[in-house]
């Protein structure tokens, strides 16, 4: 099983520079950003990039402090899809392209994807790391510094002989 924490950052919501990040519990991580967005877009980008960066057949657990990102990715998506990508009230789904990309990434991934909510800013090491990386990415975009922060590739676990 792979466990990854995700987070997003928006320096001025809406319209400010955004950053996203994932931090794998094995120590690898990645982050990136865009010049303008919302906190919700940043959170969804973090989930999307976490799924895309872990394409294998091992189960993937995504820990996030955003209930919005979790519910968009795991609960609400099926109903929206069934209703032609409309909300219960009949309106358009916000951030549709990102949500559809997450849904497609999860659907094509051989291993299962599940989500766990964690309370943000409460000392969870990996949540704090993802938060830190997302903030750095957003500030780098704002300041014109290089983005994304380089990916540190996850190392496969060695075979254990008994």
Q: Could you tell me if residue 162 is inside a domain? A: no
At 147 the pLDDT is: 64
pLDDT tens by residue, 50-69 = 999 999 999 999 999 999 99
Residue 122: the pLDDT is 84
Domain of residue 136 covers 2-143
The β-bridge partners of 127 are none
Neighbours of 75 (CB within 10 A): 12
The overall average pLDDT reported for the chain is 89
**Per-residue CA distances from 72 to 25, 30, 45, 100 (Å):** 23, 22, 12, 10
Q: Is residue 74 part of a domain?
A: yes
Supply the residues annotated as catalytic. 7-8, 43, 65, 121, 131
| Structural domains counted in the chain | 1
Find the mean pLDDT for residues 112-141.
93
Residue 152 lies in a domain: no
Please give the average per-residue pLDDT across 132-157, as a whole number: 72
Residue 83 falls inside a structural domain: yes
In the predicted model, is pLDDT for residue 157 greater than 70? no
Starting at the edge strand found earlier in the chain, the sheet holding 60-64 runs 29-34, 18-24, 2-10, 60-64, 113-117
Strands 60-64 and 29-34, by their bridges, are unpaired
CATH of the domain at 114: 3.30.420.10
Question: Tokens 């300041």 belong to which residue?
Answer: 143
Flag whether 94 is in a domain: yes
* Tens digits of residue pLDDT in 17-41: 999 999 999 999 999 999 999 999 9
**Average pLDDT score over residue span 114-140:** 93
- Position 22 in a domain: yes
Q: Would you say residue 113 lies in a domain?
A: yes
Quick check: is 15 in a domain? yes
Q: Please compute the mean of the pLDDT values over residues 97-123 and round it to a whole number.
A: 94
Diameter of the chain measured on Cα atoms: 58
């Amino acid at each position: 099983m792979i466990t990854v924490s995700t987070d997003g950052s928006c320096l001025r919501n809406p319209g400010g520079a955004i950053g996203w990040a994932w931090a794998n519990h094995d120590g690898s991580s990645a982050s990136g950003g865009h010049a303008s967005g919302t906190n919700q877009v940043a959170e969804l980008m973090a989930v999307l990039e976490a799924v895309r960066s872990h394409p294998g057949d091992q189960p993937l657990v995504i820990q996030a402090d955003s209930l919005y990102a979790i519910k968009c990715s795991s609960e609400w998506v099926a109903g929206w899809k069934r209703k032609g990508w409309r909300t219960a009230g009949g309106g358009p789904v916000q951030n549709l392209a990102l949500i559809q990309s997450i849904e497609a990434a999860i659907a094509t991934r051989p291993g299962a994807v599940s989500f766990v909510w964690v309370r943000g800013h409460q000392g969870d090491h990996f949540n704090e790391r993802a938060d830190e990386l997302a903030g750095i990415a957003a500030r780098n975009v704002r300041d014109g510094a290089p983005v994304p922060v380089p990916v540190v590739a996850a190392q496969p676990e060695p075979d254990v002989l008994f």
